Amino acid sequence: MSIYTRGGDKGETSMLGGVRVPKDSLRIEVYGTLDEATSTLGLARSTTRHDDICQDIIALQGEFIGVMAELASGPASDGAQPPRQRKKIEVPRVQPAQVERLERTIDKYEAERLPSNQFVRPGGSMASAALDMARTFVRRAERRLITLSREEAVNPHLITYFNRLSDLLYVMARIDEQREIEQAVIRQFRALGLDAASRASQTQGDGAMGICLGDCDRMVEAGIRRANAIGVPMVLSVVDAGGHVIETRRMDDALVVSITLAPHKAYTAATVRMATQELAKLAQPETPLFGIDVNIPNLTLVGGGLPLWRDGRVIGAVGVSGGAVEQDVDVAQAMVAAL
């Protein structure tokens, strides 16, 4: 059969049952938009490197065939043809069980997702960008479906399905980019000679290699002396190997934003085991860790965070904020020297 039939040359198309409607009718808009989402999911499926995400996309694309069939079998909204010309077509309708399956899949991915309290900037990975694009198409289809429901009867489970579907695509996108960032970090560790075994050895031990409060006081006092010497009020923070704050001190007149930023610098340096200014160099476009800071909470690429090493392992980190990056690094170095 030829791909072209000439049947739509006048701006109309056939729904299931043979009813002819304008191509821009609401019902066509809804399942046409879902078709856009299906195609975009194909891009996500072809680019993701994670089997479970790929399989879930395949399952969704298969399910969408039935969803679009339900939408295409509805009554014509413009009365273009009388009911006697419609053929009765039985198609499955979206049921609550399908919504529940979406929710179970969301819960599965949510258990893995790192929490974040900031807006997402799509593009952490190729597949996540495609998933986010598909999500916006589903949101548009949902809006058009709600408009349609004001003109004719619509399966209420269908509206719930679309709403839950966009939530699922959002969390799948976050998981794909999260895994890609994790793999990029691991590759960078290996490039630096820090394989899994050596990282594990750095985080184990009897605790004797950690930082005591006296160490923190000594480092903070050294940092304050250096900050006074250069005439810049600072916020100085010390964290343990896991990035947990042990001590943070704010000098008089230090910037309010530095109260948040200094601990974040220390957290980043401790958990990535790298100076924040060095991490920044590896997170630029076309570099191995580009995008690492986008959706991981508390991670910063601003210089002024330095890890604390003792006998070959990281025991904590310091973070300094309040001046120019070079000044923050200078004060952080004074703190490290005090240890």
pLDDT on residue 2: 65
What top-level class would CATH report for the domain 12-189? mainly alpha
The domain made up of 213-338 has a fold known as Beta-Lactamase (3.30.450)
For the chain, the maximum distance between any two Cα atoms, rounded to a whole number of angstroms, is 91
So where are the chain's domains?
12-189, 213-338
* Whether pTM exceeds 0.85: no
Give tens-digit pLDDT for 298-308.
889 999 999 99
12-189 and 213-338: identical CATH topology:
no
pLDDT on residue 60: 96
Are 235 and 261 in contact, with CB atoms under 8 Å apart?
A: yes
pLDDT on residue 210: 80
By residue count, the chain amounts to 339
- Cα-Cα-Cα-Cα dihedral sign, residues 261, 266, 268, 271: negative
Residue 305 DSSP SS3: strand
Give tens-digit pLDDT for 145-154.
999 999 988 9
> Phi first, then psi: what are they for 247, rounded to 5°?
-150, 135
Give the DSSP per-residue string, 105-170.
Answer: HHHHHHTTSPP--S---S-SSHHHHHHHHHHHHHHHHHHHHHHHHTTS---HHHHHHHHHHHHHHH
Cβ-based neighbours of 21, under 8 Å, separated by 6 or more: 12, 13, 14, 15, 27, 28, 76, 77, 78, 80
**For each successive 10 residues of the chain (339 residues), what is the average pLDDT?**
64 71 85 94 96 96 93 59 53 92 96 80 91 97 94 92 96 93 75 52 49 93 96 96 94 95 95 90 77 76 94 92 96 95
pLDDT on residue 118: 72
pLDDT on residue 337: 95
Compute the distance between CA of residue 311 and CA of residue 210 in angstroms, rounded to an integer: 11
Residue 191 DSSP SS3: helix
Compute the distance between CA of residue 268 and CA of residue 319 in angstroms, rounded to an integer: 9
Give tens-digit pLDDT for 173-197.
999 998 988 887 777 766 665 554 4
